[in-house]
Structure 1
């Protein structure tokens, strides 16, 4: 059985974690082994870096330091969890991957996209998901969902200003336009099961 690697992307409040769990249930019901994971994190070393990235003051890390930390976490995650699972035929569902680094560290933080891709080439040999599903929501809906989830307490990245998150959302749209075979935009409005059905439709060509 061929393993697959699927990443779910999107801004704060888009419903990635909810949809990843729902998608995992459906795929398991079809007899597939499913590994659910997240970034930053997913492996012991990457989870340690996650704590460094998401806690502390807003200015704890510069954009360049963040990019390096994310790249290091991804290398460990890929080597320790993602690749072994794919090699044994599992479907790996990851809540964020490379395109979040591109959107947050390049699109919204001002670093060059080419530099983020270079870090990924060096640290993770350029490995990309088989399909990247970007959940999209109108800005007001995304903010309402994020507030319902977090209240007034956000991590140091989620709590950034509106303009930052607007740039992140636009970056995902731009990446989908540039790589339509890999990256698909998914309307995240509506009941959760409706959104899950949209995800499955977009994966139909990969399903056994």
Structure 2
């Protein structure tokens, strides 16, 4: 693990939340803001981030793992995460680069654990194996009523002229997504030193500003680094 006494050490930030809350957009914006302060940062996602983990992502999101049940999916996510940590996250942190990930271990705890019913002991064991001590320094939970989020997704698809198709999890009913939202809020409440909940029901610029305020407050080394 990195020396936590170093004020300029690399940081690991994760974004969590339900479907359609704008995580990917805000990950890109945070990367741009960090670049303006001369922070070297790497963008990644889960499941995915490495070739092997991306293969697992395709298998799961196409619905091919659904018959395995939530427990089987949790194991698949953990396998992908272990590869992701070993091949991308840990090496970049060791090289002094910040890592910003669109989802990480809290998604497994929320989707397969609290919402899917997988036993917490199994989730914790898989977490311990996959993280290998590389827990996030900060987790930003973007929160939004699922009904509003899905209306936004539908509107965006119409504006872009795209067919509205859902992946393995987007196809779950609205009550399932409401339980998922509660799961993320429960995780955040249980981990107040790491997780910050931010309402995603606001404009992209306002949300970007709220996220930057949290990040710069959490990491004092950003103070004095001027954004262009």
Q: TM-score when scaled to structure 1?
A: 0.94
State the partner residue of 2:114: 107
Q: Distance in 2 between matches of 1:17 and 1:36?
A: 10
List runs of 5+ in structure 1 lacking aligned partners.
none
State the partner residue of 2:219: 206
- 1:62-73 equivalence runs, <5 A: 62-73=69-80
- 1:100-139 equivalence runs, <5 A: 100-139=107-146
Deviations 1:86-136 (A, max 9, x none): 111111110000000000001111112232121111233243100000001
Q: TM-score when scaled to structure 2?
A: 0.86
Q: Distance in 1 between matches of 2:105 and 2:63?
A: 23
- 1:129-208 equivalence runs, <5 A: 129-149=136-156, 151-204=163-216, 205-208=218-221
Larger mean CA deviation between 141-150 and 73-82 belongs to 141-150
- 1:43-62 equivalence runs, <5 A: 43-56=50-63, 59-62=66-69
Quick check: 1:58–1:157 contact (8 Å CA) kept in 2? no
SS in 2 for 1:8: strand
Quick check: 2:19–2:146 contact (8 Å CA) kept in 1? no
Q: 1:83 aligns with which of 63, 87, 90?
A: 90
State the partner residue of 2:16: 9
- 1:22-61 equivalence runs, <5 A: 22-56=29-63, 59-61=66-68
Deviations 1:26-72 (A, max 9, x none): 01010011100000000111011111111135833311110000000
RMSD of the alignment, in Å? 1.5
Structure number with larger C-alpha Rg: 2
1:207 CA drift (Å): 4.6
Q: Distance in 2 between matches of 1:7 and 1:59?
A: 26
1:5 CA drift (Å): 0.3
List runs of 5+ in structure 2 lacking aligned partners.
1-7, 158-162, 222-228
Q: Distance in 2 between matches of 1:152 and 1:25?
A: 29
